[in-house]
């Protein structure tokens, strides 16, 4: 027998019909994460994207959390507004999940997942704010070289060196 509080958590009311709460579908969660990631990369808040789509920001929140499914036409609209193909929302699904799906809750709790780190999003957002794309590519190359060399701390970077400017 469930306690009253446990029963409340498991039951949801739609109209007069009582239904069990269900976890969002793993595909819907993945699509929602991709929407969230692209929106952040564009530097948009939920309100701005919602306005461009003609929906409420609460509806967008539900899409990003995988709670509500996107219809085919809404997915198309989303891809047009975000400037990506529809395929973008399904990329990395198999590789990322290895045939199994992590729930959004599991990913949010995973401190090791790189997209959960604020500095990841700040780094990507900063990279795309660099107006000179040649400079951005050089910075990208420098970061990759430092990572390959396993350099943990860079001191006395020569900012006058044209290779880094």
Round to whole Å and give the CA distance between 77 and 63: 13
Same domain, yes or no, for 83 and 37? yes
Residue 91 lies in a domain: yes
Same domain, 106 and 147: no
pTM value > 0.75:
no
Both 105 and 38 in one domain: the answer is yes
The pLDDT-based confidence of 16 (bands split at 50, 70, 90) is very low
125-142, pLDDT tens digit by residue?
888 889 998 998 899 888
Q: Which domain holds residue 101?
A: 26-111
pLDDT of residue 150: 65
Tell me the sheet residues that pair with 19: 12
Buried b (16+ CB within 10 A) or exposed e, 101-138: bbebeebeeeeeeeeeeeeebeeeeeeeeeeeeeeeeb
């Amino acid at each position: 027998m469930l306690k009253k509080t446990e029963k409340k958590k498991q039951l949801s009311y739609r109209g007069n019909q009582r239904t069990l709460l269900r976890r969002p579908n793993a595909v819907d969660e993945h699509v929602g994460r991709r929407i969230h990631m692209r929106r952040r990369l564009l530097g948009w808040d939920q309100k701005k994207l919602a306005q461009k789509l003609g929906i409420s920001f609460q509806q967008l929140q539900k899409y990003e959390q995988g709670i509500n499914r996107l219809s085919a036409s809404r997915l198309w609209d989303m891809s047009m507004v975000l400037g990506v193909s529809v395929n973008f929302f399904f990329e990395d699904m198999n590789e990322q999940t290895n045939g199994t799906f992590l729930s959004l809750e599991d990913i949010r709790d995973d401190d090791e997942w790189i997209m959960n780190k604020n500095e990841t999003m700040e780094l990507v957002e900063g990279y795309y704010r660099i107006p000179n794309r040649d400079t951005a590519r050089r910075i990208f190359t420098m970061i990759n070289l430092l990572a390959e060399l396993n350099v943990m701390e860079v001191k006395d970077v020569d900012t006058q060196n044209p290779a880094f400017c």
